[in-house]
Structure 1
Amino acid sequence: MSNEVKTRKTRIIAVGNQKGGVAKTSNAVHIAAALGKRGKRCLIFDLDMNQGATRHLGVPSESFLGTFEVLIGEEDPKDVIITPEDGVDLPENIHLIAARRNLEKIDQALAAKDKFFITQDVLINPLRSLTGMYDYIFLDTAPNATTPTIAAYKSAEWFILSATPDPFAIAGLNDALTDIQGAQRHGNPNLRLLGVILCCVDSRTILANSLSEYVEQLFFDGDRSLKFKTTISRSIVVPQAQKLGKTLFETAPNHKVTKEYLKLSKEIEARISEIEKSITTQQSVTTSTVSVK
């Protein structure tokens, strides 16, 4: 991939939950695709040895170097980014750093290179080198505390939690929130929980409605619930798109769920903008106060 002038303000967003089967990868891929449809340039960084995002985007397993080689320092991240120029039919404005099964051996590989290396910091420099090339970089994490997942917590600016209306998935949110707080205490104080997505929702069921209310009440930032207002409905069109290695924007562009992802992408951008403006205002007030003194 050719070098580019760094002009974009890059937001790095990790997507996760400490439980599998909660549409985490589907959310990461479709939020990126929705933003891409709206003209934003996005990179999906697949950090899961199960290759969820890689498979979802129709990239054949073991076909490209990717995450493993970047994390052990053998490849520059710019050199392994997959684009349409590589003969892969990716969604509009979407690029990918693919995962392969060799991520299972990442700990041994890192230890063999340098036993004193702090593995949880392994993503910091690769992401720093990509800053300015994309509007958004999405880190698709594994549903457990693997080295790449922990590294995502240490290097992301924002975290989106994904959950289905299932008691075990909701419990996984609490575990993930604990990890976010741990990352904030140990090296990434700027990490912010951007919000919680509820997906695979059937609003006709009592369980879905009660768990939705529970999440809305549990996750708060000041006086605002962190649960996104937009929820993603349960529908067979999502697994159908996954099986084809496509997103809903290619397979079902006019479907209700596709429109929900577009709406969610707008809500995410609006929330980031609002928070960033609030931070800038607070910093300005602090600077003014210091100057007065």
Structure 2
Amino acid sequence: MAKNNQPNADDKVILGPTGRPYRGFPTPPTLDRHGPARIIALCNQKGGVGKTTTSINLAASLAEYGRKVLAIDFDPQGALSAGLGVPTHDIPTIYDLMLDTKRDPKDAIVETHVEGLDIIPANIDLSAAEVHLVNEVAREMILARVLRKVVNDYDVVLIDCQPSLGLLTVNALTAAHGVLVPLECEFFALRGVALLIETIEKVQDRLNPSLELDGLLATMYDSRTLHSREVLDRIVETFDDKVFETVIGRTVKFPDSSVSGVPIIEYAPQHPAAQAYLRLARELVDRGAVA
């Protein structure tokens, strides 16, 4: 007769989309104090992979678990700001802080309607940053100098990078402790990953030795298609444990919630996509990437 602490041979192991046993991850314990923050850059030079969607919903999910979160809109398109219902004109933005590092970053921090989630917005002005900063001394370190002034006020800072590997993205990687790579479950999305990993390694070698690859997040997954399943299998085969167990499915609820200017955990809290981002937040805490 099997002992109580041993699995029964008849018990079925439920496998998640990544082929690993599905785990729920425990609810994170309440924090008795806040800060200093761990800075995570959400980075992929390919557009349309769910980077901003992940920034919005992961930030809101971490705030739901009592973490103080600062989101940095680091894309001139300002999609992160718009997705959280924050105006981007006639107010201080991350561009102003980059040009004047003596300015208090708190002047540009905006409280969102999500409790515990603040944002430093961006607008099209940020597109001129690379031109203005090209002759600056230690131009790759400018964002790090800005964030140094607020890092003790938060538990996590999420930087939503633009889809390129230019100076702004290098600034984000230089300021960050970790990198989270949203990766669409589509063949062409795989092609640019090697270049992104090479860029991360160069930043590690030359600018930020403590930078870590926190993981790759499979997004826009559709279990009904063989293509999605094959691409996800290839990602797991290549990166193994660096692939998050949480997988984000494809759904029209994401653009619907973005138009409404609220995270999906508020727009449709019971939807599987909302539950997936809450699970991702728990997984990040479980992995030690977030306090």
Same fold (TM over 0.5): yes
The residue type paired with residue 24 of structure 1 is K
Runs of 4+ in 1 over 2 A off after TM superposition: 107-111
Q: Are 1:57 and 2:57 an aligned pair?
A: no
Partner residue in 1 for 2:111: 83
2:117 maps to 94
Please report how far the alpha carbon of residue 147 of structure 1 lies from its aligned counterpart in structure 2 after TM superposition.
Answer: 2.1
Which of 215, 221, 230 aligns to 1:201? It is 221
Indicate yes or no: 2:287 matched with 1:271. Answer: yes
Q: Tell me: CA distance 1:116–1:253, structure 2 relative to 1, closer, same or farther (3 Å).
A: closer
- Between the aligned partners of 2:69 and 2:75, the Cα distance in structure 1 is 18
CA distance in 2 between counterparts of 1:158 and 1:120 reads 16
Whether 2:239 is the aligned partner of 1:219: answer yes
From 112, 126, 139, the equivalent of 1:103 is: 126
SS in 1 for 2:236: helix
- Aligned equivalents of 1:207, 1:72: Cα separation in 2: 45
Q: Give the unaligned 5+ runs of structure 1.
A: 1-5, 85-89, 277-293
Which residue number in structure 2 is paired with residue 126 of structure 1?
146
Q: Which residue in 1 is equivalent to 2:207?
A: 187
- CA pair 208-122 structure 1, distance change in 2 beyond 3 A: same
Contact residue 200 and residue 232 of structure 1 kept, 8 A: yes
Using the TM superposition, give the Cα deviation of residue 253 of structure 1 relative to its aligned residue in structure 2, in angstroms: 1.0
Residue identity (%): 28
Partner of 1:279: none
8 Å CA contact 2:184, 2:218 repeated in 1: yes
Alignment match, 2:15 = none
Deviation at 1:7, TM superposition (A): 4.9
In the alignment, is the contact (CA less than 8 A) between 1:194 and 1:272 conserved in 2?
no
Is contact 1:57–1:245 with CA below 8 Å preserved after alignment? yes
Please give the secondary structure, in 2, of the residue aligned with 1:148.
helix
Structure 1 Cα separation of the partners of residues 195 and 90 of structure 2: 34
* Change over 3 Å in CA distance of 1:79–1:131 after alignment to 2: same
SS at match of 1:145: coil
What corresponds to 1:47 in structure 2? 74
How many residue pairs were aligned?
258
Which secondary structure does the structure 2 equivalent of 1:179 belong to? Answer: helix
Q: Distance in 1 between matches of 2:82 and 2:161?
A: 14
Residue 219 of structure 1: SS of its match in structure 2? Answer: helix
Deviation string, structure 1 residues 31-61 (Cα, Å, up to 9, x no partner): 1100101111100001111112111111223
Cα distance 1:7–1:238, how it changes in 2: closer, same or farther (>3 A)? closer
Query: What is the CA distance between 1:146 and its match in structure 2?
Result: 2.9
- Please state whether the residue corresponding to 1:43 is helix, strand or coil: strand
- Select 2:188's aligned residue among 153, 156, 168: 168
Query: Which has more helix, going by share of residues?
Result: 1
Match of 1:177 in 2: 197
Q: Counterpart amino acid of 1:261?
A: Y
User: Does the 8 Å CA contact 2:214/2:289 hold for their aligned counterparts?
Assistant: no
- Could you say what secondary structure the match of 2:41 adopts? strand
- TM-aligned CA deviation for residue 169 of structure 1: 1.4
